[in-house]
A = this chain, B = another copy of it.
């Protein structure tokens, strides 16, 4: 019923994108650093944003506009986060929205803004404004994706289609980041587009649920950016019967948004700075889903475990150590642990496994750690990546 389609964020009908090189970091190269994602029609839209108390200006701008019913576009720069820039930063975010609105012949209140890059330095608004004037909308999702990338080494897109009342509805998405952005802090940006006709009341819950089941399961290093942004926009171009809150069709749309977001989160884990492997931690048998979630997050966030996974070291003591530090009920002699299908721990003790075989099982791009607590029916998953020497090297470089 749910099927993959090509096109990423431009898979849904009525969506276009543009990208240009505005030299935001002042470099003489030709890296695309300014992008625009735009809909032919007004969108119902909702978003979730960073929980950091230090909030970048574009996030403040987006929070004012969302949830909304007449959003038309998102303008994005990479190279400058427009964070810790005070009143000037807010004026600059609004000026970006205005410039994009002028280009599209719409109102600035219909344009979301996202930024990622260095913080504490005002945007070079002359170059940003000139860049926005150069943008020409078209069907090139890849160029838009390139324009929002920083230390990302590959594009991250996904799209799904399903039917509602005989009409095909599509949900697409594009994301960047998850790792830290050289030379400054991380930002994750995720834009989920759709052509669904939908009651706007469906979206705030849907985007929250999708983020909880994808990006919020992802831990690269425990640091949270000032700019994190995840928005969903539905422009209605599919012409389906309107999707009402609580309906089976709403659940279908939510499922598609969830799947697109989870797929993008997996892309992010794989492309995290210095990462060579994705770690997926599945906790079951917890007293509650919330406790399973806390335990899975704690395990996937442990620097020690991340280093062990990097070295193919079946060091299960680090898994139990991290587990014991999580706010989750635990009975040590009921814990079992498996690593890519190989059982290492049963009843809290070693199974006497062959260390060489376990190390070999870990030598894979995806390391799945299954932890069963034997207490209840709570279950959850968390995503992360290993930690390599390159992570340190990338993040120890001078901003100077």
Beta-carbon contact of B315 and A223 below 8 Å = no
Q: Is A330 an interface residue (CB 8 A)?
A: yes
Beta-carbon contact of A321 and B54 below 8 Å = yes
Among the interface residues A223, A323, A394, which one has the most CB atoms of the partner chain B within 10 A?
A223
Beta-carbon contact of B389 and A393 below 8 Å = yes
Q: Is A34 an interface residue (CB 8 A)?
A: no
Beta-carbon contact of A324 and B53 below 8 Å = yes
CA distance A60 to B321 in the complex (A): 16
Residues of A168-188 contacting chain B, CB below 8 A: 180, 183-186
Write out, one digit per residue, whether chain A residues 389-400 have a CB within 8 A of any chain B CB (1) or not (0). 101111111111
Q: Is A333 an interface residue (CB 8 A)?
A: yes
Q: Is A118 an interface residue (CB 8 A)?
A: yes
Q: Is A221 an interface residue (CB 8 A)?
A: yes
Beta-carbon contact of B86 and A223 below 8 Å = no
Q: Is A290 an interface residue (CB 8 A)?
A: no
Beta-carbon contact of A320 and B399 below 8 Å = no
Which B residues touch A393, using CB under 8 A? 389
Q: Is A224 an interface residue (CB 8 A)?
A: yes
Chain A interface: which size bin? Answer: 35 or more
Which residue of the partner chain B has the closest CB to A184?
Answer: B317
Beyond A226-B324, A392-B388, whether A316 also contacts B120 by CB under 8 A is yes
Beyond A83-B317, A349-B86, whether A303 also contacts B221 by CB under 8 A is yes
Among the interface residues A318, A321, A392, which one has the most CB atoms of the partner chain B within 10 A?
A321
Beta-carbon contact of A400 and B356 below 8 Å = yes
Beyond A86-B333, A223-B304, A313-B399, whether A320 also contacts B358 by CB under 8 A is no
Beta-carbon contact of B392 and A307 below 8 Å = yes
Given contacts A53-B324, A120-B349, A120-B350, 4 further A-B contacts (CB under 8 A): A84-B348, A120-B317, A310-B396, A313-B396
Q: Which of B119, B324, B350, B392 contacts A54 (CB 8 A)?
A: B324
Beta-carbon contact of A224 and B355 below 8 Å = no
Beta-carbon contact of A321 and B392 below 8 Å = no
Which B residues touch A400, using CB under 8 A? 313-314, 355-356, 358-359
Beta-carbon contact of B304 and A398 below 8 Å = no
Beyond A321-B54, A332-B84, A400-B355, whether A315 also contacts B184 by CB under 8 A is yes
Q: Is A377 an interface residue (CB 8 A)?
A: no
Which B residues touch A223, using CB under 8 A? 302-304, 318, 321-322, 325
CA distance A286 to B99 in the complex (A): 40
Write out, one digit per residue, whether chain A residues 338-375 have a CB within 8 A of any chain B CB (1) or not (0). 00000001001110000110110000000000000000
Beta-carbon contact of B391 and A392 below 8 Å = yes
Q: Is A312 an interface residue (CB 8 A)?
A: yes
Which residue of the partner chain B has the closest CB to A220?
Answer: B303
Give 5 nearest A-B pairs by CB, closest first.
A311-B396, A54-B324, A307-B395, A355-B400, A119-B317
Beyond A183-B315, A324-B226, whether A392 also contacts B396 by CB under 8 A is no
Which B residues touch A118, using CB under 8 A? 317
Q: Is A148 an interface residue (CB 8 A)?
A: no
Which residue of the partner chain B has the closest CB to A318?
Answer: B185
Q: Is A125 an interface residue (CB 8 A)?
A: no
Among the interface residues A310, A320, A359, which one has the most CB atoms of the partner chain B within 10 A?
A320
Which B residues touch A185, using CB under 8 A? 304, 317-318, 321
